[in-house]
Amino acid sequence: MWDTFIVHPFTNVLLFIYSITGQNFGIAIILFTLLIRALTHPLMVQQIKGSRAMQDMQSNPRYKEMQEKYKNDREKLAQEQMKLYKELGVNPLASCLPTLIQFPIIIGLYQSLTRALATTPLEMLDLSRIVYPQLANVEAMLPLKSSFLWMDLATPERLYLPFLPDFGIPVLAIVVLITTYMQSKLMTPPAANPRDQSSQISGMMNIYMPILMGWISLTLASGIALYFLASNVAGILQYAMLGKVNWKNLIPTFNFARPAPQVAPTRSEPVVESKPEPRKPPKTSIRGTTKVAQKTKLKTNPKATFDRGKNESRKNNPGSNRADS
Amino acid sequence: MKFSSRFLIIGLILLAGVMLSACSGALPIHAWPGIAADASAVYVAEGVGVFALNPNDGNILWRYPEKAENTRVFYAAPVLGPEGTLLVADYEGGIASLDAKTGRERWLFKEAKGRFIASPVFVNSTILAANSDHLLYALDLKGNLLWKYTSPEQLWVSPASDGKAAYIVSVDQHIYAVNLKDGKQLWSAKLEGAAVGAPVVDKTPVIYVGTSIGNFYALNSETGAVIWKVKINKGVWSSPLFVDGTLYVGSGEGLVYALSSQDGTVKWKARAGDSVIGSPALTGNNLLVAVESGELVAMSLGGERQWGRPVNGKLYTAPVIEGQKVFVAAKGEKLVTAFDLSGTELWKIDPPK
């Protein structure tokens, strides 16, 4: 069932692209990834809208108040949250559903790639049996030529330089790691409260997911790594086209760039000035600075800073939230 | 709380990694087992080891390596050579020369960067081994590199040789002739479709090779020119069996073809089963054919079916005949099944752990 409706059609489309692009499997992978990305673009837009709505709602003073009020009664808190969702017309699943729909597509794409790579005679035999009769000319091209640039797409990629013949540099794995990091940083919406659990979780995902993807790229066939890379770049471009990319998100990790004493005065600025303006144009966003400031605050005097931050945000957030909603 | 959520996330990411690996086709290798036999043992390469089995009862005599190494897997059929040598080649680019009686390693060649999907071959005092890193390696009998030849694409198939040249097919759908002395290319010829079975060379001088989309060629071994070509439905996935001017060829359609080596004329064709991937084997006056769905079939040299015996698993490789016994290696429930020449089952074994 899964194979018939997902993997086999995907594999045949991939083989068809291979046949019309001069039998270059690297280009076929890239084009196939872009095609799937384009087809799932509406889902991604929905997902972004949904997560933005959720994020806006979390900045709502009523939401914060009920969190404080019912912090010891989770059931009541959930009920109140549902009421607020309904009142504001926010669907909490709006950002999850598109992701869930995309998930099988991504898995199918991944499986079709591994099928098409066919690195042994038995895998090639299996592949030849799922080629549609209409693509008889494609069957004659099997197994696919797996050379692309300096890589063999059927094996893990390593670049051997003339002056370093015994050490293969895993260029593709490194690039996948970097682009995964970039994508996750650029696409993570700014947290309403960086200290809450969900913000911490997404912060950790931003670190561990690139490492995981880099490791997979290091060990699996480079065709898979090429797909990861194409997918990452396409994701960043999609996000940029929607005007949602905030390049400053990449900067905060380098918080050693500013000496602590100088940060202190500016760190209060974002909080004080976080009226309506910061959210509107992404370019003028000061979210990154806020994160730096808050991190530094916690280092210097966590408790005092926390209390002050809470008071300040109570004072300032209403305006901000009204503007957002 | 903070720590527990951190561990939870790390755990979820690791789980996602494992699931991602599990759903890939790249980590688990799909390949058929390789088998060889002599009077003292049956040698089978399957996954993490090469196993020597007692031909009388299937008990394991020795295994190589003694302790399984997860990344070092063996599928190419072991090859018996001079002075009790058994060559085994792995998917990590290694060729080991073993003492066939004990399984003790004599030498290990580890220069290849890809997989040895097909078996090495002995040609006089030279070992030829084709690797998926695009290289054909020529070694002496002590495992020293003599030369290597680079083909444009991966090599999945064992080379053939007439003592003067090595003939090797690449997945780029070409056949290459390489000088056996220095590894220099002599000629190349385009094939329609990829050859998965090794070429067969006779002295006339002709090379016979079939491709996965069903073109079966006779080529001049000195020039690569096509002498004749025959179309076989559903492809040829193995080497032909060449006996007294007749080529016996299994097809993906399940038929066995008997072709005249002179002009490719079809002498007869007969159905063996659903699909024949491995080469036929000859025993006395019978052909033994391994049918993919799991049946060993005996046919007369005229194409009449004599008998058929079920096997637990799928058959992709040729039956191996040693003395009065026939051994088949299957992918599935039973790794090796032994029969006598009349088709009586003698023993069968599970894949060793």
- Render pLDDT for B143-188 as a digit per residue (tens, 0 to 9): 999 999 999 999 999 999 999 999 999 999 999 999 999 999 999 9
Domain boundary among A88, A110, A145: A145
Tokens of residue A36, six digits:
């799937």
Q: Is A143 close to B171, i.e. CB distance below 8 A?
A: yes
Q: Is B153 close to A110, i.e. CB distance below 8 A?
A: no
Give the model confidence (pLDDT) of A166-217 as tens digits.
788 999 999 999 999 888 888 766 665 666 666 677 677 778 888 988 998 8
| Separation between Cα atoms, residue B321 and residue B306, nearest integer Å | 17
| Separation between Cα atoms, residue B173 and residue A270, nearest integer Å | 65
What confidence score (pLDDT) does residue A66 get? 82
Instruction: Identify whether residues A136 and A43 lie together within a single domain.
Output: yes
What confidence score (pLDDT) does residue B299 get? 97
Cβ of B116 under 8 Å from any chain A Cβ? no
Average pLDDT, chain B: 92
What confidence score (pLDDT) does residue B180 get? 96
Question: Could you tell me which residues are beta bridge partners of residue B110?
Answer: none
Distance in Å, alpha carbon of B214 to nearest chain A alpha carbon:
10
Decide: helix, strand or coil at residue B12. helix
Q: Is A205 close to B13, i.e. CB distance below 8 A?
A: yes
| Separation between Cα atoms, residue A41 and residue A238, nearest integer Å | 8
DSSP string across B198-256: PPEEETTTEEEEE-TTSEEEEEETTT--EEEEEE-TT---SPPEEETTEEEEE-TTSEE
Instruction: Identify whether residues A39 and A136 lie together within a single domain.
Output: yes
DSSP state of A221: -
Contact A231, A223 (CB under 8 A): no
Cβ of A137 under 8 Å from any chain B Cβ? no
- Select from A175, A194, A182, A196 the least CA-distant residue to A248: A182
User: Nearest 5°: phi and psi at B100?
Assistant: -60, -25
| A153-169: average pLDDT | 84
On the question of pLDDT at B106 being above 90, the answer is: yes
| A108-123: average pLDDT | 88
Site from A128, A130, A199, A231 to mutate, B interface, most B CB atoms within 10 angstroms: A128
* Helix (DSSP H) and strand (DSSP E) numbers for chain A: 15, 4
What confidence score (pLDDT) does residue B189 get? 97
What confidence score (pLDDT) does residue A283 get? 40
Instruction: Identify whether residues A185 and A47 lie together within a single domain.
Output: no
Contact B224, B188 (CB under 8 A): yes
What confidence score (pLDDT) does residue A260 get? 43
Domain boundary among A145, A168, A183: A145
Instruction: Identify whether residues A3 and A130 lie together within a single domain.
Output: yes
Q: Which of B2, B24, B331 sits opposite A114 (nearest CB)?
A: B24
Higher pLDDT, B122 or A183: B122
Instruction: Identify whether residues A195 and A318 lie together within a single domain.
Output: no
Q: Which of B26, B115, B193 sits opposite A117 (nearest CB)?
A: B26
Burial class (CB in 10 A: 0-12, 13-18, 19+), B111: middle
Evaluated on CA atoms B121, B122, B128, B129, the torsion sign reads positive
Instruction: Identify whether residues A65 and A101 lie together within a single domain.
Output: yes
- The tally of domains found in chain A comes to 3
What confidence score (pLDDT) does residue B1 get? 46
What confidence score (pLDDT) does residue A194 get? 60
- The listed range with the strongest mean pLDDT (A242-246, B15-19, B65-69, B109-113) is B109-113
Instruction: Identify whether residues A134 and A8 lie together within a single domain.
Output: yes
| B110-128: average pLDDT | 95
Q: Determine which of A304-308, B17-21, B39-43 has the lowest per-residue pLDDT on average.
A: A304-308
- Select from B166, B346, B196, B172 the least CA-distant residue to B277: B196
Distance in Å, alpha carbon of A121 to nearest chain B alpha carbon:
7
Cα-Cα-Cα-Cα dihedral of B232, B236, B239, B244, to 10°?
A: -20
DSSP-H helix ranges across B68-142: none
| A109-133: average pLDDT | 90
Site from B8, B12, B132 to mutate, A interface, most A CB atoms within 10 angstroms: B132
Cβ of A275 under 8 Å from any chain B Cβ? no
Higher pLDDT, B119 or A309: B119
Distance in Å, alpha carbon of B29 to nearest chain A alpha carbon:
8
Instruction: Identify whether residues A166 and A239 lie together within a single domain.
Output: yes
- Select from A248, A259, A325, A315 the least CA-distant residue to A288: A248
| B99-118: average pLDDT | 96
Neighbours of A71 (CB within 10 A): 9
Whether the upstream peptide bond of residue A190 has omega within 30° of 0, thus cis, is no
Q: How confident is the model at residue A114 (pLDDT cuts 50, 70, 90)?
A: confident
Higher pLDDT, B116 or A58: B116
Q: Determine which of A121-130, A178-187, A286-295, B262-271 has the lowest per-residue pLDDT on average.
A: A286-295
Tokens of residue B243, six digits:
């006996």
Higher pLDDT, A60 or A96: A60
Tokens of residue B47, six digits:
């996954």
What confidence score (pLDDT) does residue B216 get? 97
What confidence score (pLDDT) does residue A160 get? 87
Q: Which chain B residues have a beta carbon less than 8 Å from that of A145?
A: 153, 171-172
On the question of pLDDT at A316 being above 50, the answer is: no
| Separation between Cα atoms, residue B298 and residue B316, nearest integer Å | 16
CB pairs under 8 A between A and B: 105
Evaluated on CA atoms B31, B33, B36, B41, the torsion sign reads positive
Within its chain, how far is the Cα of B195 from the centroid?
Answer: 12
Q: Is A221 close to B26, i.e. CB distance below 8 A?
A: yes
Q: How confident is the model at residue A264 (pLDDT cuts 50, 70, 90)?
A: very low
Which residue from A minimizes the CA distance to B113? A155
Q: How confident is the model at residue A147 (pLDDT cuts 50, 70, 90)?
A: confident
On the question of pLDDT at A27 being above 60, the answer is: yes
What is the extent of the structural domain holding A157? Answer: 148-245
Q: Is A120 close to B75, i.e. CB distance below 8 A?
A: yes
Cα separation values, A110 from A18, A96, A116, B324, Å: 16, 21, 10, 48
Contact B175, B167 (CB under 8 A): yes
Cβ of B317 under 8 Å from any chain A Cβ? no
End-to-end Cα, chain B, rounded Å: 43
Q: Is A145 close to B29, i.e. CB distance below 8 A?
A: no
Distance in Å, alpha carbon of B284 to nearest chain A alpha carbon:
30
What's the pTM value of the predicted model, to 2 decimals?
A: 0.76
Instruction: Identify whether residues A208 and A183 lie together within a single domain.
Output: yes
What confidence score (pLDDT) does residue A300 get? 40
Q: Is A111 close to B26, i.e. CB distance below 8 A?
A: no
Q: Which chain B residues have a beta carbon less than 8 Å from that of A122?
A: 30-32, 316, 331
> What's the length of chain B?
353
On the question of pLDDT at A254 being above 90, the answer is: no
Cβ of B70 under 8 Å from any chain A Cβ? no
Tokens of residue A283, six digits:
């370019």
User: Nearest 5°: phi and psi at B143?
Assistant: 90, 15
On the question of pLDDT at B321 being above 70, the answer is: yes
Give the model confidence (pLDDT) of A280-313 as tens digits.
444 433 333 334 344 434 444 444 333 444 444 4
Burial class (CB in 10 A: 0-12, 13-18, 19+), A22: exposed
Higher pLDDT, B342 or B8: B342
DSSP-H helix ranges across chain A: 2, 8-20, 25-39, 41-58, 61-69, 74-88, 96-117, 121-128, 136-139, 171-187, 197-219, 222-241, 260-273, 287-300, 302-324
Q: How confident is the model at residue B329 (pLDDT cuts 50, 70, 90)?
A: very high
Higher pLDDT, A242 or B240: B240
Instruction: Identify whether residues A11 and A135 lie together within a single domain.
Output: yes
Instruction: Identify whether residues A75 and A195 lie together within a single domain.
Output: no
Percent of chain A with pLDDT over 90: 17
Q: Is A124 close to B196, i.e. CB distance below 8 A?
A: yes
Contact B226, B218 (CB under 8 A): yes
DSSP state of B316: -
Q: Which chain A residues have a beta carbon less than 8 Å from that of B19?
A: none
Q: Find residues 226-255 of chain A whose CB sits inside 8 Å of chain B.
A: none
What confidence score (pLDDT) does residue A197 get? 63
Contact B66, B73 (CB under 8 A): no
Domain boundary among A224, A245, A266: A245
On the question of pLDDT at A233 being above 90, the answer is: yes
Q: Which chain B residues have a beta carbon less than 8 Å from that of A119?
A: 26, 29, 115, 132
Q: How confident is the model at residue B226 (pLDDT cuts 50, 70, 90)?
A: very high
Q: How confident is the model at residue A105 (pLDDT cuts 50, 70, 90)?
A: confident
Contact B242, B202 (CB under 8 A): yes
Instruction: Identify whether residues A136 and A38 lie together within a single domain.
Output: yes
On the question of pLDDT at A322 being above 60, the answer is: no
